[in-house]
Amino acid sequence: MSKHETPLHLAINGSWTEEPRRRLASLSLLLSAGADPNAADVHGDTPLHLACKAKDLQAVARLRRAGADDAVLNSAGVSPRMLLLGATAAVTASSAEQPSKRQHQQQ
């Protein structure tokens, strides 16, 4: 493990858990064994930060059920909640732009 990553960090970022079902099973196993969902790496990122960055909503939900704090700030001053709201805002903005592009093409 590098950067003080925990097994939960690796379960979210690790290439060996690319299959969503396998990743969720790994998360559940680690959490049921007592893994800390709020453990931070050297950048202050918790497993929830990583799940939010990856837009893995199933992992986000599983971590939140285990008590992961969505308001904790990493070393850049960003919380998991901010990451999700930013991702939601970007998707909303992208969706809002698409109809105007279509309207422009139809004219």
What digits encode the pLDDT tens for the residues 71-104?
A: 999 999 999 999 988 855 544 444 455 554 444 4
In the structure encoding, which two tokens stand for residue 61, read together? 């939900």
**Cβ-based neighbours of 38, under 8 Å, separated by 6 or more:** 46, 48, 67, 68, 69, 72
pLDDT band at residue 37, thresholds of 50, 70 and 90? very high
Look at residues 61, 38, 53 and name the one whose alpha carbon lies nearest to residue 84: 53
Instruction: Please compute the mean of the pLDDT values over residues 6-20 and round it to a whole number.
Output: 77
Percent of the chain with pLDDT over 70: 75
* pLDDT at residue number 67: 96
* pLDDT at residue number 78: 94
* pLDDT at residue number 85: 87
* pLDDT at residue number 87: 57
**Cβ-based neighbours of 63, under 8 Å, separated by 6 or more:** 8, 27, 31, 37, 47, 48, 51
Distance in angstroms (rounded) separating the CA atoms of residues 48 and 73: 11
- For the chain, the residue count is 107
The model carries a pTM of 0.75
- Contact (CB, 8 A) for 21 and 30: no
More confident residue, 3 or 29: 29
